[in-house]
Amino acid sequence: MRLPPGLRAEPPPVVYTKRLLYKGFRSDTEPMADDTPVRDVTDDEVAFFERNGWVRLPRLVGPDRVAVLRERALNHLAGRSRAVTTKVDQAFGQSRDVAETDGHFREVALAPQLGRAATRLLRGVAGVRVQVTNLLVKEGGGGHGATEFHQDFPWMPMDRSAMLTLWLALVDVPADMGSLRFYSGSHRYGVLGRSFTRDGDDQLTQHPWLKELELSPPLDLAAGDATVHHALTVHGAPANRRDTPRVSFTVTYFDADALYTGTPYRQTDDLGLTVNRPFEHAKFPVVPHA
């Protein structure tokens, strides 16, 4: 696949200077200095995402911030549960909702640049909320297997699919460490069903015709690079063939006007949300984008 020239250009740094505090996102860690470089997306990147349902964002976050996030991520992940009880656990380990308790990750998740990016990439939305933040680790040396090809949205309790996930590399991630791969254009085919529930329910087994679509090339990511994919984009990742772990920070954003459907979902079941009303709860803050 030929990437547009804009994806290779060195982006100018953009700085946000306002500390962001939201009810429900605790501030029990010291914030970093107000010189965090998080850049805006380019017109070429927006156009590429609209065509393909995914995009690579080189040098999205500056190296100083990434170094701090990496150190904190490794500390958080060291305390994670190592139990393997689901097919997801076989593919990677995780520490969920990290931005709720760690101000460093919260400042990135709520950065206005990322609010603008998500609003631009999800055409037609007026604003976005944070759905979840995660630290992900894929251990090398057989510690974790491949991540089967799947969509993110089929599990979600939202009434619309305007949702995307930003996947930020916190270490250098060469392709053989398990960077994500995407079936370009698969976001146009709607909800294709759940995966990770039983053997043989990956998207390629359920829908062999997906192989007619173009699979994204193997991506070598530097720490601070990111990929973004739509919640309907079919994606997966190979196993980590290196000896060091693949470590990333993810933020999922969704349409701020989305309504709660009541679909059973562990994250929302006990929050007292009202069916057919927006997600007006502290766990789902609206991200500034002005």
Regions of the chain where pLDDT drops below 50:
1-35
Residues 63, 204: Cα–Cα separation, whole Å: 37
Domain ranges of the chain: 37-255
The token duo for 17 is 């200077």
Burial 17-40 (b: 16+ CB within 10 A, else e): eeebebeebeeeeeebeeebbbbb
Encode pLDDT of 83-142 as tens digits.
Answer: 665 656 566 688 899 999 999 999 999 999 999 999 999 999 999 999 999 999 998 877
Q: What is the pTM (predicted TM-score) of this model? A: 0.86
* Top-level class of domain 37-255: mainly beta
